[in-house]
Structure 1
Amino acid sequence: MHTDILIAGGGIGGLAAGLACSKAGCHVRLYERAETFGEVGAGIQMGPNVVRVLQGWGLDTALRQVAAFPDRLQVRHALSGAELGLLRLGQTTVQRYGAPYATIHRADLQQLLLKALQQRDAVWLHTGKTVNRYVETNGAVGLSLDDGLDVEGDALIAADGLWSRVREQLLNDGPPRVAGHLAYRAMLPQASLPAALRSQQVTAWLGPRLHVVQYPVRGGEWLNVVAIVHGHVQGGLEDWDHGANAADLQAALGHTCMALRDLIAAVPDWRLWVLCDRPPVVAADQMARGHVALLGDAAHPMRPYLAQGAGMAIEDAAELARQVALVDGVLDVPTLLQRYALNRWQRNARVQARSIRNGEIFHLEGPMAWARDASLRLLGERLLDVPWLYRGP
């Protein structure tokens, strides 16, 4: 007998869950509402806790073909340009945590997971299928799709993102909250940049009510740039990827140092995200009830200030697979989904809370910013390293 896993959502979390559960011996049926599997162009940082999971799934070689592996993370002051702190990555991270720190194009990570999943038996991937609602009956869970099709399985994994329909039905806890921050994102070939602006490291620029992060992707051939400022936009928040006016960003960063202004001016096109999240998870039953479990942004959407949104979804997938592999006559699906939630909710909540706190620290003003800068100069790597996170769950 095989456990039949239904997955709503074909982003990074859904594909990771499908791959992990398939490797655990489950049959997997995945439903993605878009007509094709695709991701908007944005970069992802992956700590060694995440890279180690991908290596365990046999994806190390494929990852090395598309990712970059920076040797260091540098923190600089956005106004003066001065270096505030440095974290060694590369071999230092491998020695400390057993895996490197990687940076990758979001679409490349999705394609890596998709190709691995397509090579598995007993996996069915469906696009253009929106999950409307679910119903639990007779020890199973049924899905109603927007095209009128009904399907049934042993468990439903909701990986349908920030605006999850499954979460809405399961928890009925309202929409996500607006963070009050705007993220301008861009990705461009390094060859198109002046030599002085090219980089093979992670750099975080900290300033009052703003910060900018840049890092290489696609083997170092491209540069990902993210600028986050305080503000709001009008319009539908579910359309999370908007066209952006470069002049607005340049005006917001007009008081920063010349090196940062040059980088921003060199980017021809930006896309704008309105950042939303939810409060940190407070109990296991916010992640699983009965035959239904939430994963990734459907369960614990977080601000990007610890660079762990995709990472926590991948960790979720690994723990989910570890549990569903144990389904037998004694340990049933609801019990094991509850164990999945019990093993994940506190770590996810800690990452959510730390992400919120990091955003506050990054954007400090006045005397508090001076204290932050002095601490970084004095303690540097001790402040920037995150052992409890990078060691894994």
Structure 2
Amino acid sequence: MPAHILVAGGGIGGLATALALSRNRHRADVFEQATVFGEIGAGVQLGPNVTRRLQQLDLGTGLAAIAACPDALVVHSAGNGAELARLPLGSAMQQRYGAPYFCVHRADLHGLLLEAVRARGTGALVTATHIEQIETSDDLVCVSSTDARAWEGEALVGADGLWSMARQQLASTSATEPPRVTGHTAWRALIEQSALPMALRRTRVDVWLGPQLHAVAYPVRGGDWLNVVVIAESAPAGDARDWDQASSIAALKQAMGRSCASLQALLDAMPGWRAWSLSDRAPVASAADMAHERVALVGDAAHPMVPYLAQGAGMAIEDALALAEALGNGSAAEVPAAFSRYADARWARNARVQARARRNGEIFHATGAVRLGRDMAMRMLGAKLLDQPWLYGG
């Protein structure tokens, strides 16, 4: 008999998990604390390792319809705007890795997954549910909410993000430790490209590297919109749990200081800014950080990471398919062994991505001699430094 699995969290990771499980006829009930299923934020970069998984979920056509396919990744100096390195994307990525490199709006990707989960119809979608208690036994998991409702299933997948409640069910020593506040703040803005002068429009991914900061701009929504993100080493403001704080260009400029004219012009053209504080956890130390008996974690609940490798959503989607593959057509009795196989298969890759993301942050934000060495290496090696075969081909 297919298993009945409770999925805590209705974001990208939770919906991808529910969809992947439903393909093997498992019932996956998804519980979201918001009153409606939706996503905040703006852009997401999806490398070939991620688009390949979405194609496996039969979402390739729908994904191509909502995505932009940038033709290159170009790295600049934030100080003078000079080009440091370039990596061809577009057809080059498709030929090398067998899948495209896409940029999407987070809400569009979430909507694509939600539509697919609803079309499958194998489980319930429950909103306005803030889970406050989880109880497990040898063969069941029960979750209860703050408004005294309760649900029972044969397993629980925690897709409930950085401040995960499900994480506390793990046996690892880090299960109850709070996330690490990095001291980095991110600002994001989104604008329709037709509202920009031609010189500021983008068909590629542009990155600017500066002392203790970097910026990135890339097209989304079929190329019709432009997503801009700036991350600076700046004292966090507001609630660390709030991913959608109101901000301003003045606050952004105060944090980042002076930059080249082309970048400043792009930032000034944005109609408004939202901000959030970046937090993460230490890289996953073992399989025990991802699963324990009838509880497994996916995405940020297991391995939150800084966005310097653009793989947060990607690792959640990889997790979802790996978990469904580990369970296969297995019954409820096979869940603990399947979750153990899943964690064994995933923890080391996730740890590597977490560690590389942290390292990239140090490189992107380097100062002094390290910055000069970084720029020289990029000018000499270019695409060889920017390509990630271990990641995109994995």
Output the TM-score relative to the length of structure 1: 0.97
Alpha-carbon distance between aligned partners in 2 of 1:324 and 1:145, rounded to the nearest angstrom? 27
For 1:247, which of 250, 275, 278 is the aligned residue?
250
Q: Secondary structure at the match of 2:242?
A: coil
Instruction: Provide, for residues 1-47 of structure 1, a one-character-per-residue CA deviation record: whole Å limited to 9, x for no partner.
Output: 11111100000000000000001220111110101011113100000
2:18 maps to 18
Q: Secondary structure at the match of 2:207?
A: strand
1:70 maps to 70
Query: Is structure 2 residue 352 aligned with structure 1 residue 350?
Result: yes
2:32 maps to 32
For 2:313, which of 304, 310, 315 is the aligned residue?
310
For 2:392, which of 375, 390, 393 is the aligned residue?
390
Alpha-carbon distance between aligned partners in 2 of 1:105 and 1:24, rounded to the nearest angstrom? 29
Instruction: Provide, for residues 35-93 of structure 1, a one-character-per-residue CA deviation record: whole Å limited to 9, x for no partner.
Output: 10111131000000000001111111111111101111000010010000000111110
Q: Point out the more displaced range, 350-359 or 24-33.
A: 24-33
For 1:377, which of 369, 376, 379 is the aligned residue?
379
Query: Is structure 2 residue 196 aligned with structure 1 residue 193?
Result: yes
Alpha-carbon distance between aligned partners in 2 of 1:55 and 1:142, rounded to the nearest angstrom? 33
Q: Contact between 1:13 and 1:313, CA under 8 Å: does it hold in 2? A: yes
1:380 Cα deviation (Å)?
0.3
1:174 maps to 177
1:193 Cα deviation (Å)?
1.0
Output the TM-score relative to the length of structure 2: 0.97
2:231 maps to 228
Q: Contact between 1:250 and 1:261, CA under 8 Å: does it hold in 2? A: no
1:169 Cα deviation (Å)?
4.3
Alpha-carbon distance between aligned partners in 2 of 1:70 and 1:103, rounded to the nearest angstrom? 7
Query: Is structure 2 residue 140 aligned with structure 1 residue 136?
Result: no
Gap runs ≥5 in structure 2: none
Instruction: Provide, for residues 148-190 of structure 1, a one-character-per-residue CA deviation record: whole Å limited to 9, x for no partner.
Output: 2222111100000111111134354221111110000011101
- What is the aligned-residue RMSD (CA, Å)? 1.2
1:268 maps to 271
Q: Contact between 1:3 and 1:27, CA under 8 Å: does it hold in 2? A: yes
Query: Is structure 2 residue 52 aligned with structure 1 residue 52?
Result: yes
Alpha-carbon distance between aligned partners in 1 of 2:382 and 2:117, rounded to the nearest angstrom? 41
Alpha-carbon distance between aligned partners in 2 of 1:251 and 1:335, rounded to the nearest angstrom? 52
1:7 maps to 7
Instruction: Provide, for residues 209-245 of structure 1, a one-character-per-residue CA deviation record: whole Å limited to 9, x for no partner.
Output: 1100000000000000000111113432112321112
Query: Is structure 2 residue 41 aligned with structure 1 residue 41?
Result: yes
Q: Contact between 2:238 and 2:245, CA under 8 Å: does it hold in 1? A: no
Q: Secondary structure at the match of 1:40?
A: coil
Q: Secondary structure at the match of 1:128?
A: coil
Instruction: Provide, for residues 296-337 of structure 1, a one-character-per-residue CA deviation record: whole Å limited to 9, x for no partner.
Output: 0000000000000000000000000001114249x7211110
Q: Contact between 2:169 and 2:295, CA under 8 Å: does it hold in 1? A: no
Query: Is structure 2 residue 93 aligned with structure 1 residue 90?
Result: no
Query: Is structure 2 residue 326 aligned with structure 1 residue 323?
Result: yes
Matched to 1:135, the amino acid is E
2:161 maps to 161
1:105 Cα deviation (Å)?
0.3
Alpha-carbon distance between aligned partners in 1 of 2:229 and 2:243, rounded to the nearest angstrom? 15
Q: Point out the more displaced range, 232-241 or 116-125.
A: 232-241
Gap runs ≥5 in structure 1: none
For 1:215, which of 209, 214, 218 is the aligned residue?
218
Q: Contact between 2:31 and 2:125, CA under 8 Å: does it hold in 1? A: yes
Alpha-carbon distance between aligned partners in 2 of 1:235 and 1:280, rounded to the nearest angstrom? 26
Alpha-carbon distance between aligned partners in 2 of 1:70 and 1:235, rounded to the nearest angstrom? 34
Instruction: Provide, for residues 89-130 of structure 1, a one-character-per-residue CA deviation record: whole Å limited to 9, x for no partner.
Output: 111101110001000000000000000000003221111112
Alpha-carbon distance between aligned partners in 1 of 2:110 and 2:319, rounded to the nearest angstrom? 16
1:142 Cα deviation (Å)?
1.2
Alpha-carbon distance between aligned partners in 2 of 1:241 and 1:92, rounded to the nearest angstrom? 35
Q: Secondary structure at the match of 2:126?
A: strand
Matched to 1:210, the amino acid is L
For 1:339, which of 327, 341, 358 is the aligned residue?
341
1:107 maps to 107
Alpha-carbon distance between aligned partners in 1 of 2:168 and 2:261, rounded to the nearest angstrom? 46
Q: Contact between 1:246 and 1:268, CA under 8 Å: does it hold in 2? A: no
Q: Contact between 2:294 and 2:335, CA under 8 Å: does it hold in 1? A: yes
Q: Contact between 1:250 and 1:265, CA under 8 Å: does it hold in 2? A: no
Matched to 1:374, the amino acid is M
Q: Contact between 1:26 and 1:325, CA under 8 Å: does it hold in 2? A: no
Alpha-carbon distance between aligned partners in 1 of 2:256 and 2:264, rounded to the nearest angstrom? 7
1:237 maps to 240
Alpha-carbon distance between aligned partners in 1 of 2:35 and 2:237, rounded to the nearest angstrom? 28
Alpha-carbon distance between aligned partners in 1 of 2:295 and 2:131, rounded to the nearest angstrom? 13
For 1:366, which of 359, 364, 368 is the aligned residue?
368
Alpha-carbon distance between aligned partners in 2 of 1:370 and 1:184, rounded to the nearest angstrom? 26
1:146 maps to 146
Instruction: Provide, for residues 255-275 of structure 1, a one-character-per-residue CA deviation record: whole Å limited to 9, x for no partner.
Output: 211001101111121000100
